[in-house]
Structure 1
């Protein structure tokens, strides 16, 4: 028998009700494989929304649709008030400058130092060529993520947690309005995972970003989430605060929280 769908009342976020990401009846299939089935989601400015779901349920496909890397088959997807599917190449480029995307690997250039990795988007995207301004921005963001002593190191000289911090710094350096995190704690030990989760929360507060965090790490979800959305079989089946979902009667939701005290 199908579980009854229940939606918990989300926590009010910092008094701001502006919707930054609006998704309605979104569908995406690859051949006969329906990955997204009637996805509906609103994310408000300044909110951290965690998407929880098992592997292969469509979590990463959804955020690729948000940045226009994939085009939905049906439904609407608005980011910062504009319909993504209707944007031309120039409009998509402008949108992506407002969105930070932290990949699982950190996506650093191996041949560049941390300084050079951070200068790259400033010179290529923002067209900043004043070295004093570059130094100031790089040093400020590295200080924010606690990585100022690694400024002249290569990625190969960094631990996994340090690479995550460097990747986050490079994403934040162009002051994005929206952050998308794809499994930000994957491959890290529990202590480092907690540090990265707390850093995500601190960056939300400091830079006032709106974030979607895809994770299967329950501790990351507990630390970072203003609201948690559970995804299964291409749909969102329940949402609410971390604590409210612990009390859910939905058997699929219970699987995520069964070891949470």
Structure 2
């Protein structure tokens, strides 16, 4: 995989040309006023891969995936999703792109006044325009069963624990069968046991739905469980990439300080 900065630490060999790339970012920059949040972000996400972006809070991780779905427009660089330049897309093209990209927010972003069933029906009727209630019911029940929450189908979000709300949020995102999943701090606010369960569920869903995913986190255990490859971000730049095992042996003091916390 090509990276913009020549001195980025690669703990393993780059992607081979035969790997199909679904997101290609090169030299992405983004500032808010005088603050430069993204300085030179370059990466490729290949089909079927879980790529974790690991770093402390405030380093530009969430801004990166907001650029991917067109919520934010980069100030410079190239950002291609499914071979199309995101910055050049019309509103309608962005709408169609977002159907293919699932975005799991930190909060889960459920509608509080709707039951779990109604929350999951919403994207089926509003996004996919399904009208057959039997088909809708089947999809809702299937995806809830996949996240282990079929019994909660008629409960309100207020009746659920934090971990259960995360599961419902994941189910609602997956119900439209996205090709790419973007996870923004999926384990934030959860206890260690629930965090591990959510991380293992992300891995299970990747295999079941064959999604390509970017997982934004500063949770080291989440990164260890879910990642095929890890990109370490610091101060708006990637400073290292590789597997968990390889990055544990990094000679970069900052990278090593991350991984030594778990040893």
Following TM superposition, by how much is the alpha carbon of 1:213 offset from its aligned partner in structure 2, in angstroms? 0.2
The separation in 1 between residues aligned to 2:26 and 2:169, in whole angstroms, is 31
Aligned residues: 257
In structure 1, the residue matched to 2:10 is: 7
Structure 2 unpaired stretches of 5+: 1-6
In structure 2, the residue matched to 1:194 is: 196
Following TM superposition, by how much is the alpha carbon of 1:10 offset from its aligned partner in structure 2, in angstroms? 5.2
In structure 2, the residue matched to 1:19 is: 21
Following TM superposition, by how much is the alpha carbon of 1:36 offset from its aligned partner in structure 2, in angstroms? 0.5
The separation in 2 between residues aligned to 1:109 and 1:64, in whole angstroms, is 21
The separation in 2 between residues aligned to 1:183 and 1:73, in whole angstroms, is 24
- TM-score w.r.t. length of structure 2: 0.95
Following TM superposition, by how much is the alpha carbon of 1:259 offset from its aligned partner in structure 2, in angstroms? 2.1
Q: Is the 8 A contact 1:26 1:77 kept in 2?
A: yes
Question: Which of 64, 89, 92 does residue 90 from structure 1 map onto?
Answer: 92
Q: Is the 8 A contact 2:121 2:136 kept in 1?
A: yes
Following TM superposition, by how much is the alpha carbon of 1:260 offset from its aligned partner in structure 2, in angstroms? 2.1
Following TM superposition, by how much is the alpha carbon of 1:56 offset from its aligned partner in structure 2, in angstroms? 1.0
In structure 2, the residue matched to 1:185 is: 187
Structure 1 unpaired stretches of 5+: none
In structure 2, the residue matched to 1:56 is: 58
Q: CA 1:201 to 1:10, structure 2 compared with 1: closer, same or farther past 3 Å?
A: farther
- TM-score w.r.t. length of structure 1: 0.96
The separation in 2 between residues aligned to 1:124 and 1:242, in whole angstroms, is 40
Q: Is the 8 A contact 2:28 2:41 kept in 1?
A: yes
Following TM superposition, by how much is the alpha carbon of 1:32 offset from its aligned partner in structure 2, in angstroms? 1.1
Query: Relative to structure 2, which stretch is displaced further, 192-201 or 53-62?
Result: 53-62
Q: CA 1:120 to 1:16, structure 2 compared with 1: closer, same or farther past 3 Å?
A: farther
Aligned counterparts, 1:23-34, within 5 A: 23-34=25-36
Alpha-carbon RMSD across the aligned residues, in angstroms, is 1.4
Q: CA 1:10 to 1:174, structure 2 compared with 1: closer, same or farther past 3 Å?
A: farther
Q: Is the 8 A contact 2:11 2:250 kept in 1?
A: no
Following TM superposition, by how much is the alpha carbon of 1:5 offset from its aligned partner in structure 2, in angstroms? 3.5
The separation in 1 between residues aligned to 2:260 and 2:189, in whole angstroms, is 22
Q: Which runs of 4+ in 1 moved over 6 A?
A: none
Aligned counterparts, 1:1-261, within 5 A: 5-9=8-12, 17-261=19-263
The separation in 2 between residues aligned to 1:183 and 1:98, in whole angstroms, is 20
The separation in 2 between residues aligned to 1:221 and 1:11, in whole angstroms, is 19
The separation in 1 between residues aligned to 2:221 and 2:29, in whole angstroms, is 30
1:108-129 deviation line (CA, Å, top 9, x unaligned): 0000000000000000000001
The separation in 2 between residues aligned to 1:95 and 1:202, in whole angstroms, is 24
